[in-house]
Structure 1
Amino acid sequence: MNTKLVDLLVFPESMTYKIIGTPKINFINQVIEVAQYHVPGDYSPTVLYSSRKKYCSISITIIVKNIHEVERLYNDLSKIKNVRMVF
């Protein structure tokens, strides 16, 4: 099966991005800033910390208008210094 992501989505689409990284200074704010830059809105991310607080997981739901926004958000979130994984 050769189905592409763009073929599965109907835009506008609500997508939840999960970002895992080390909780350094302004980490959560940097994630929100990237989201605001691409898709301005009022975001309330869910933040969870590992048991030793070495890592944190940020879930943020964003309404994207096209596949280009999906890709740009993924790429720019991945570029944040302390990010270890985006999905």
Structure 2
Amino acid sequence: MNTKFDELLEFPCTFPFKVLGVADPSLPDRIIEVLQQHAPGDYSPTVRPSTKGNYHSVTVPVIAQSKEHLEAMYKALGDIDLVRVVL
């Protein structure tokens, strides 16, 4: 990834990941599992269903230590098979 996170953010910082994925009951747990590998912590995700209920939006604030740390979490979250978009 060649992002400009280092120009836009001051690290360490709290970064709210918003992950859109298939409406599966395991989605929030799988997201937290991935985040725990990169930034261990006590997470409380916020889950909102889409209008038709086919997708869920899961928001989780995470403390990012650097540009590389943030990019690694983006990639790892995007690799979850239920995930469609990471914002």
TM-score over 0.5 (shorter chain): yes
Q: Which structure has the larger Rg over C-alpha atoms?
A: 1
- Which whole-Å CA distance do the structure 2 matches of 1:42 and 1:86 have between them? 20
What TM-score does the superposition give when structure 2 sets the normalisation length? Answer: 0.91
Counterpart in the other structure of 1:76:
76
Task: State the Cα deviation string for residues 65-86 of structure 1 (Å, max 9, x = none).
Answer: 1111100000000000011100
- Which whole-Å CA distance do the structure 2 matches of 1:56 and 1:12 have between them? 28
Counterpart in the other structure of 2:65:
65
Task: State the Cα deviation string for residues 15-65 of structure 1 (Å, max 9, x = none).
Answer: 001000102241110000011110000000110001221000000000011
Residue 21 (1) aligns with residue 21 (2): yes
CA-CA distance at 1:5 after TM superposition: 2.3
- Which whole-Å CA distance do the structure 1 matches of 2:24 and 2:8 have between them? 36
Counterpart in the other structure of 1:10:
10
Identity of aligned residues (%): 37
- Structure 2: runs of 5 or more not aligned: none
What TM-score does the superposition give when structure 1 sets the normalisation length? Answer: 0.91
- Structure 1: runs of 5 or more not aligned: none
RMSD: 1.4
- Which whole-Å CA distance do the structure 2 matches of 1:56 and 1:25 have between them? 9
Q: How many residue pairs align between the two structures?
A: 85
Residue 31 (1) aligns with residue 31 (2): yes
Q: Which segment is superposed worse, 25-34 or 38-47?
A: 25-34
